[in-house]
Amino acid sequence: MTTENKRVIIVTGASAGIGRATSIHLSETFPSPTHPEQLVLILVGRRKAELEATGSLLRQGTIVEIATGDASDEAFVSGLETTIKEAYGRLDLVFNNAGINKKSEGQFEDQDITLFREVLDVNIMGAVLFTKLAFNIMKSQTPKGGRIINNGSISATAPRPNNTSYTISKHAITGLTRSTSLDGRKYGITCSQIDIGNASTAMGNHVQSGSIQADGSTKIEPTMSADNVAKTVAFIASLGTDVDVLSLEILASGMPYVGRG
- CATH number where 145 lies: 3.40.50.720
The alpha carbons of the chain give a radius of gyration, in whole angstroms, of 18
**Does some domain include residue 160?**
yes
How much is the average pLDDT of 251-257?
A: 91
How much is the average pLDDT of 168-174?
A: 97
pLDDT band at 103 (very low <50, low <70, confident <90, very high): confident
Return the higher-pLDDT residue of 60 and 258. Answer: 60
pLDDT band at 1 (very low <50, low <70, confident <90, very high): very low
Q: Which domain holds residue 136?
A: 3-251
**Does some domain include residue 120?**
yes
**Does some domain include residue 258?**
no
Q: Is the pLDDT of residue 259 over 80?
A: no
Count of H-run helices and E-run strands, the chain: 7, 11
Model pLDDT, residue 202:
75
Which residues, in sequence order, are bridge partners of residue 200? 225
Q: For residues 63 and 27, what is the distance between their CA atoms, to the nearest angstrom?
A: 9
| DSSP 3-state of 59 | coil
**Does some domain include residue 257?**
no
Q: Is the pLDDT of residue 64 over 60?
A: yes
Model pLDDT, residue 210:
81
Q: Is the pLDDT of residue 39 over 90?
A: yes
Q: Is the pLDDT of residue 255 over 60?
A: yes
**Does some domain include residue 93?**
yes
**Does some domain include residue 182?**
yes
pLDDT band at 241 (very low <50, low <70, confident <90, very high): confident
**Does some domain include residue 125?**
yes
**Does some domain include residue 76?**
yes
Question: What mean pLDDT value characterizes the chain?
Answer: 93
How much is the average pLDDT of 65-90?
A: 98
pLDDT band at 163 (very low <50, low <70, confident <90, very high): confident
What is the value of pTM for the model shown? Answer: 0.93
Q: What total of structural domains would you count in the chain?
A: 1
| DSSP 3-state of 210 | coil
Q: Is the pLDDT of residue 72 over 90?
A: yes
Of 172, 158, 178, the residue nearest 256 (C-alpha): 158
